[in-house]
Amino acid sequence: MHRRWIALALALTFSGMTQAYDPPRTAPAPHASADASDENLWLDDIDGAKPLEWVKERNAATVSKYASDQAFKTLDARILEVLDSEAKIPMVSKIGDHYYNFWRDKQHPKGLWRRTTLAEYRKDKPAWETVIDLDALSAAENENWVWHAAQCLKPDYRRCLVSLSRGGADADVVREFDLTTKTFLKDGFSLPEAKSQVAWMDEDHLYVATDFGPGSMTDSSYPRIVKEWKRGTPLSSAKTVYEGKKTDMSIWAFRDRTPGYERDFVSRALEFYNSETFLRGKDGKLTKIDVPNDAETDVEREWLLIELRTAWTVGGKTYPSGSLLAANFDDYMAGKRELVALFTPDEHTSMSGHSWTRHHLILNVMRDVVNEVHILTPAAKGEWKSAPLGDAPALSTIQAVGVDADDTDEYFLTVSGYLQPTTLYYGVLGQGGREALKHSPAFFDASKYVVSQHFATSKDGTKVPYFEIAPKAMKTDGKNPTLVYGYGGFEIPLQPMYSAGVGRAWLEKGGVYVVANIRGGGEYGPRWHQAALKANRPRAYEDFAAVSQDLIDRKITSPKHMGMMGGSNGGLLAGNMLTKYPQLYGAVVSQVALLDMKRYTHMSAGASWMAEYGDPDKPEEWKYIQTFSPYQNLHKGTKYPPVLFTTSTRDDRVGPVHARKMAARMQAMGFDASFYENIEGGHGAAADNKQSAFMNALAYTYLWDHLR
């Protein structure tokens, strides 16, 4: 469970979030952080009859007030039309000789896992072969399956481990699937529902990290033991490879099956930004890759890449935070420290990701939150050659990724912007230009709007960038309904991307849409993120307030007409803007949020984020955490703007209890707090397109009703 993947999953808003499910749960046992004065502890019983009755009553009230008229139904239908559109780009990944895609539309609400050839994919309407029909499978097995992933065994790619979730949380079941016969194997590898990590060793062996019974999971609700499991034997007989501590975040193992470079690795995440990776020898001996624990490592063929989160002095040289370093893996493990800096950030740049092809490394770099792509090629004597692949159009995003690092220098490239529908290109590095394969349709008339980038000055003098999408004919009279969106956590940047939902639900009505690139995110690499960690978390909220105030000073809007929205960590942002800066907003929407920071480490997967927020069970850390815990910072007599809390019963990552309790306390205090909890959907708050359309339509309708 790579921490970058976890962070991305946390950051995505629920219209595009990975969705998953958790089995029925009961009220947690009391613990040290339980507050005897907390009148809403009874809502912790997630599937209890009384709490669910409370949920249904609040849901009904919210639907009656905001989701029952014709205007809402029209918007709901228009958002669903986008999500179900057959004209969307079917993004693919290469597995063997085919290109695979998971697809949902009106006829297939749960989705199809399907495949085609590159020749067919080039066509406007490719011929697809269905591999798994999730709707048919759900009907046959009387389950509400939600797709998670498929992991296929190379080099022949005949067998796959398919992960499916019931109704939508992070916990899933794993079943072995045959790509040749397109059937699940009756006697194949199979794991019951859990937050598992599995990986192929060979056709008859797996690395398995799962719930092996009492004591086998960490406090963060992830596996702490990884084992080697042989085909045809019971899971109980699997051989332990590595056992971490209960206080660790998670443990997993995998085999790199790149031909000629087969290696086994074990990873131990001590906390979110602190991990150890070991090379596992044929004798089972583990040798730690000697890099800083907060660095990310990537091993590809002969190369070791090291991405630094803090400055590192090695071999007599200091490399700054945010650098990407390369070394020969075998030489490095033998003790040599011959490193090459492939990327070094400056005040305006940071790395947003990298991807391998057979002979090249693709670097996606941000300059003031706008992408540029560089191609690096290993040369003689440890040198690397660099050449640009292309820059993004003004205020948009360009991203490239290798198609198959084992066999080819092919790559896919996407270009997207707030007003620019995504275009997918295909090319081969070293062979000249690229071809446009697919164009996403325009779902709204972008010619009426303009995108601009601005910089607000935060409380400590830091310049904070933000993007503004507004009507060309906008009057700067302070009366424009304006929605400010933010996230600000886990080193995740918010980059320009096309959103048909924003266009249809907000821009077409005459609203202004703003994305704030506040600290805590990854817009300027680790330094931007670390500036808002733990005791410095309020800087993120100061940044967001500065952006909001700048919009007022520029007469784009005013508090009466300005709202804000955020999900997950962004939902915590929303809770703090509500409680710390209520005078700035006319309405707030907080989605699948953390809100009770006193008890968050004891709720769902909360313990895994102590590196981000701190440990509230330590008095010295609770001292600063309580300053950004919205649930504890509600006060009678304060004038709060109207707020909508949305969540999901099946969210086993953040959990619905935060939103339940916050809404309950505010309502008891007499404040205007609306609430809606989707029974399905996991951390994405929606298990299919129909639910996603409803949740998005509800949020935008709520905001428009209060801000117009």
Q: With beta carbons less than 8 A apart as the criterion, state whether 128 and 107 touch.
A: no
Q: In 95-176, where does DSSP find H-type helix?
A: 118-121, 134-141
Residue 445, token pair as written in the block:
């008339």
CA 619 – CA 627 distance, rounded (Å): 13
Measured between alpha carbons, how far is residue 463 from residues 214, 248, 456, 520, 534 in Å?
A: 49, 36, 6, 14, 21
Q: With beta carbons less than 8 A apart as the criterion, state whether 411 and 400 touch.
A: yes
For residue 469, which phi and psi values (nearest 5 degrees)?
A: -115, 115
> How many Cβ atoms from other residues are within 10 Å of residue 165's Cβ?
26
Q: With beta carbons less than 8 A apart as the criterion, state whether 641 and 632 touch.
A: no
CA 464 – CA 514 distance, rounded (Å): 13
> How many Cβ atoms from other residues are within 10 Å of residue 24's Cβ?
8
Q: With beta carbons less than 8 A apart as the criterion, state whether 584 and 545 touch.
A: yes
Residue 404, token pair as written in the block:
């198959």
Residue 36, token pair as written in the block:
């005897």
Q: Encode 451-513 in three state secondary structure.
A: EEEEEEECCCCCEEEEEEEEECCCCCCCCCCEEEECCCCCCCCCCCCCCHHHHHHCHHHCCEE
Q: In 89-133, where does DSSP find H-type helix?
A: 118-121
CA 104 – CA 145 distance, rounded (Å): 13
Beta bridge partners of 387: 375
DSSP-assigned letters across all residues of 226-262: EEEEETTS-GGGPEEEEE--TTSSEEEEEEE--TT--
Residue 270, token pair as written in the block:
């001590």
Q: Please list the active-site residues.
A: 568, 683
For 441-452, b/e burial (b = at least 16 CB within 10 A) is eebbebeebbbe
Helices (H) and strands (E) in the chain, counts: 14, 41
Beta bridge partners of 683: none
Measured between alpha carbons, how far is residue 454 from residues 457, 463, 501 in Å?
A: 10, 9, 23
**Residue 352: which H helix or E strand, with range?**
strand 349-356
Residue 335, token pair as written in the block:
């003790």
Q: What is the DSSP letter of 683?
A: G
Residue 624, token pair as written in the block:
């600063």
Contacts of 532 by beta carbon, 8 Å cutoff, 6+ apart: 488, 489, 518, 519, 520, 538, 539, 540, 543
CA 155 – CA 78 distance, rounded (Å): 43
Upstream peptide bond of 465 is cis (omega within 30 degrees of 0): no
